[in-house]
Amino acid sequence: MSLMDLYLFTEILSYLGMICILSAFLLETRDILGSKDTKYLSLMAFGSGLLAVRALLIYEWAFLVLEIVWCLAAVLALVKKNR
């Protein structure tokens, strides 16, 4: 994989992750989804997971930690909700 391919791949990841997180946030602030709804938590987990992968690939350590914590919080909430 060339550097240009890697750059394009990480850009796509970041935009998909951003769209997921912003969609969840916008839907929640408009009372369409609740912050504990499965759809909201799934969007947050998936979006922050994608952004965590991007952060790892571009060596952004503080951003990686932030996204891992966000992803884990959403995944743990999903697990708790589905028990």
In the chain, what percentage of residues exceed pLDDT 70?
Answer: 100
Torsion, Cα of 24, 28, 32, 35 (10° steps)? 90
Better-scored residue on pLDDT, 49 or 2: 49
- Burial (0-12, 13-18, 19+ Cβ within 10 Å), 71: buried
Q: What is the tens place of the pLDDT at every residue in 8-65? A: 988 998 999 999 999 999 999 999 999 999 999 999 999 999 999 999 988 999 999 9
Judge whether residue 1 has pLDDT over 80. Answer: no
37 sits in the region (left: phi over 0; alpha: psi -120 to 50; else beta) called beta
Provide the residue type at 34 as one letter: G
pLDDT at 9: 87
